[in-house]
Chains A and B, each alone.
Chain A
């Protein structure tokens, strides 16, 4: 049994690909249940957020399973495999575990330390749990991913960072607008960080919220969360005139707002100031826009710089987090190999039992004169012998030792156990 992770995120895939691969709304249930039906997949959970789509699976054979899953994705989302394959990352075994822990601890996020991803992972696993598509391995992995994320949050200052970025954005907005009450705000695109900042702004009194998304339905969903209004992608240049604060996080490959367009917008706004935060990677808003009067453009890096003057040793914190993850990975690994030793123990017992039964049968044929009591004594002796013989290797297999995997292999070889058949 191995952990397999397949996915795309904001670093590997453009927003179009992420959106096409997303498991939104009813697609999630449909997808999870269909994935579970795949021959190679034993357990499955699906995480689908604005910035990433990831499949967590428990499989026997990683190569075969990933092929099958890729074919499934191609069919399910109506995309040809080459369209998404180069954006797709596949991790198996320890790499997969590490990846899950890094994602849950928000080390893999666009803005490192943002807290929402943990909740999203919890939701994804709980959904899978409710649909009964997970089992021992994924359940344990989920618990570990959550506890690791909590450790990272409490033992390092990584989480402070993301909070301070959206805090810095609000502080800055207050230095431009005095107070945010009555201001209107446009969320262009979506994303973990953008939503976090949006929430901060709303908590600080921003009144009108406009949500623009390429997928109108997704926009409506988000708008609902903020009590706002969804705007169609085609209309955004029209509506942007009303926005005092804009957060852009569309992940488009090129600029969605050019200087000339913004100049027109400013004319229409009669130069009322605009504060724009461009979270997108690559940048979605022409940096030249900052040169227009009364337009203040900040990228995530700029905000980061603002925050960095306050937080020292950010790198140190990241290293600390990676160390925690390594520790937790080791623990998980040990648990997994203990899981691996169970079938071996069972097989070993089975083997001994088989030998015992076989030999007793042969004895009975050779010495039919033995009466019931004598036979019972012989049987007892045979049982005692095999028990005494398999006791030490069983104890060794159950023991939590570093070389357990080797031990399992050795015992299988020494006793001639063919593991695969007995694993179930």
Chain B
């Protein structure tokens, strides 16, 4: 087993442990548990980063060339953003809604073929790095918006139903959840837009046409429209709070389908 595979397994184990602690935290959280969870996530993140670097060194190109690598990189982006938000805002319980998602994506990544194949000539372009990094950082922002959207709905339910039990005390305020949700989408949306544009440019240089109605392209466009609607109704009609949260949850489901579903169900030129 190569070094990079061992690093991956270690990272996966740390994420698993972090996810377990996160779920436990929902039932009985203390300062210690959230500290433990954060250290586990940071450790997983570092090993994960080492894994990605190792793969880069070994393969000689950005390791986002197959579905395994792509989903691994995707979850790494999510953890990065999560740690950033945690550092910046210290939102209680955010980990409980994010780390399980990270673990599931990593787990599916671990079950996909991990072989490092030589890059096919069409993909050998600097567009690979730009297009994929933009797409995954954008998707990671949507993933966090999804987690925060769920937190919003849970907290909103407590406040609306006037039963302030359970997680009410530990969840952040509605306003901050709504604000961060909005901010994440304003980060994710331009990145997704750029990813689609760079993808089109890359397609033109590789295959000779900008847009070929490939299922991945179509679903990316659907995703783009959903988030465009989220931003539009927010700015024009002042849709915020519950509706914005629901839309961002829905949006991320489409992101996941675009990412995994299209590859398994539909035929696509994209390898991931």
Which residues of chain A have a CB within 8 Å of any CB of chain B? 172, 174-178, 267, 269-273, 290, 293-294, 296, 298, 302, 305-306, 309
Quick check: A175 and B238 within 8 Å, CB to CB?
no
Quick check: A294 and B240 within 8 Å, CB to CB?
yes
**In the complex the two chains form, what is the Cα distance from A99 to B174 in whole Å?**
45
Quick check: A306 and B162 within 8 Å, CB to CB?
yes
Quick check: A176 and B243 within 8 Å, CB to CB?
no
Quick check: A293 and B243 within 8 Å, CB to CB?
yes
Quick check: B239 and A178 within 8 Å, CB to CB?
no
For the complex formed, measure the closest distance between the CB of B168 and the CB atoms of chain A, giving whole angstroms: 7
* Residue from B168, B174, B237 having most chain A Cβ neighbours under 10 A: B174
**Which residue of chain A is the closest to B162 with respect to CB atoms?**
A302
Quick check: B241 and A178 within 8 Å, CB to CB?
no
Quick check: B174 and A176 within 8 Å, CB to CB?
yes
For the complex formed, measure the closest distance between the CB of A304 and the CB atoms of chain B, giving whole angstroms: 11
Quick check: A296 and B160 within 8 Å, CB to CB?
yes
- Offer 20 A-B interface pairs, CB within 8 angstroms, sorted by A: A175-B155, A175-B159, A175-B173, A175-B174, A176-B175, A177-B173, A177-B175, A267-B238, A270-B237, A271-B239, A271-B241, A272-B238, A272-B240, A273-B174, A273-B175, A293-B242, A294-B240, A294-B242, A296-B160, A309-B165
**In the complex the two chains form, what is the Cα distance from A136 to B171 in whole Å?**
58
Select which of A172, A178, A290 is within 8 A of B175 by beta carbon. Answer: A178
For the complex formed, measure the closest distance between the CB of A281 and the CB atoms of chain B, giving whole angstroms: 18
For the complex formed, measure the closest distance between the CB of B135 and the CB atoms of chain A, giving whole angstroms: 31
For the complex formed, measure the closest distance between the CB of A270 and the CB atoms of chain B, giving whole angstroms: 3
* Residue from A269, A270, A298, A302 having most chain B Cβ neighbours under 10 A: A270
**In the complex the two chains form, what is the Cα distance from A178 to B239 in whole Å?**
19
**Which residue of chain B is the closest to A269 with respect to CB atoms?**
B238
For the complex formed, measure the closest distance between the CB of B179 and the CB atoms of chain A, giving whole angstroms: 8
**In the complex the two chains form, what is the Cα distance from A285 to B174 in whole Å?**
23
Quick check: B242 and A174 within 8 Å, CB to CB?
no
If A174-B173, A273-B174 touch, whether A290 touches B160 (CB-CB below 8 Å) is yes
Select which of A175, A294, A309 is within 8 A of B241 by beta carbon. Answer: A294
Asked if B164 CB lies within 8 Å of chain A CBs, one says yes
Asked if B112 CB lies within 8 Å of chain A CBs, one says no
For the complex formed, measure the closest distance between the CB of B239 and the CB atoms of chain A, giving whole angstroms: 7
**In the complex the two chains form, what is the Cα distance from A40 to B142 in whole Å?**
80
For the complex formed, measure the closest distance between the CB of A312 and the CB atoms of chain B, giving whole angstroms: 16
For the complex formed, measure the closest distance between the CB of B248 and the CB atoms of chain A, giving whole angstroms: 15
CB-defined contacts of B176 to chain A, threshold 8 Å:
178
CB-defined contacts of B242 to chain A, threshold 8 Å:
293-294
Closest 8 pairs between A and B when the two form their complex, measured CB to CB: A270-B238, A178-B173, A271-B238, A294-B241, A302-B162, A178-B175, A178-B176, A175-B173
Which residues of chain B have a CB within 8 Å of any CB of chain A? 155, 159-160, 162, 164-165, 168, 171-176, 237-243
CB-defined contacts of A273 to chain B, threshold 8 Å:
174-175, 241
Main secondary structure of the interface of B (DSSP, over half): loop
**In the complex the two chains form, what is the Cα distance from A302 to B155 in whole Å?**
17
**Which residue of chain B is the closest to A298 with respect to CB atoms?**
B162
If A271-B240, A293-B241 touch, whether A306 touches B164 (CB-CB below 8 Å) is yes
CB-defined contacts of A302 to chain B, threshold 8 Å:
162
For the complex formed, measure the closest distance between the CB of B172 and the CB atoms of chain A, giving whole angstroms: 8
For the complex formed, measure the closest distance between the CB of A169 and the CB atoms of chain B, giving whole angstroms: 12
**Which residue of chain A is the closest to B155 with respect to CB atoms?**
A175
- Beyond A176-B173, A178-B172, A269-B238, 19 additional pairs, beta carbon < 8 A: A172-B159, A175-B159, A175-B171, A175-B173, A176-B175, A177-B173, A177-B174, A177-B175, A271-B237, A271-B238, A273-B174, A273-B175, A290-B160, A293-B243, A294-B240, A294-B242, A296-B159, A298-B162, A309-B165
For the complex formed, measure the closest distance between the CB of A280 and the CB atoms of chain B, giving whole angstroms: 17
**In the complex the two chains form, what is the Cα distance from A306 to B239 in whole Å?**
29
**Which residue of chain B is the closest to A294 with respect to CB atoms?**
B241
For the complex formed, measure the closest distance between the CB of A206 and the CB atoms of chain B, giving whole angstroms: 14
* Residue from B160, B162, B168 having most chain A Cβ neighbours under 10 A: B162
CB-defined contacts of B164 to chain A, threshold 8 Å:
172, 306
For the complex formed, measure the closest distance between the CB of A54 and the CB atoms of chain B, giving whole angstroms: 34
If A271-B241, A294-B240 touch, whether A305 touches B174 (CB-CB below 8 Å) is no
* Residue from A177, A273, A296, A298 having most chain B Cβ neighbours under 10 A: A273
For the complex formed, measure the closest distance between the CB of B255 and the CB atoms of chain A, giving whole angstroms: 25
CB-defined contacts of A306 to chain B, threshold 8 Å:
162, 164
CB-defined contacts of A294 to chain B, threshold 8 Å:
240-242
**In the complex the two chains form, what is the Cα distance from A290 to B162 in whole Å?**
10
**In the complex the two chains form, what is the Cα distance from A293 to B164 in whole Å?**
18
**Which residue of chain A is the closest to B176 with respect to CB atoms?**
A178
**In the complex the two chains form, what is the Cα distance from A178 to B173 in whole Å?**
5
**Which residue of chain B is the closest to A305 with respect to CB atoms?**
B162
**Which residue of chain A is the closest to B241 with respect to CB atoms?**
A294
CB-defined contacts of A271 to chain B, threshold 8 Å:
237-241
**In the complex the two chains form, what is the Cα distance from A269 to B239 in whole Å?**
11
**In the complex the two chains form, what is the Cα distance from A309 to B238 in whole Å?**
36
If A273-B174, A306-B164 touch, whether A176 touches B159 (CB-CB below 8 Å) is yes
**In the complex the two chains form, what is the Cα distance from A337 to B251 in whole Å?**
80
For the complex formed, measure the closest distance between the CB of B130 and the CB atoms of chain A, giving whole angstroms: 37
For the complex formed, measure the closest distance between the CB of B151 and the CB atoms of chain A, giving whole angstroms: 12
For the complex formed, measure the closest distance between the CB of B127 and the CB atoms of chain A, giving whole angstroms: 40
**In the complex the two chains form, what is the Cα distance from A212 to B84 in whole Å?**
45
CB-defined contacts of B237 to chain A, threshold 8 Å:
270-271
For the complex formed, measure the closest distance between the CB of B245 and the CB atoms of chain A, giving whole angstroms: 11
CB-defined contacts of B172 to chain A, threshold 8 Å:
178
* Residue from B159, B168, B171 having most chain A Cβ neighbours under 10 A: B159
For the complex formed, measure the closest distance between the CB of A4 and the CB atoms of chain B, giving whole angstroms: 43
**In the complex the two chains form, what is the Cα distance from A175 to B154 in whole Å?**
12
CB-defined contacts of A174 to chain B, threshold 8 Å:
173
**In the complex the two chains form, what is the Cα distance from A309 to B174 in whole Å?**
23
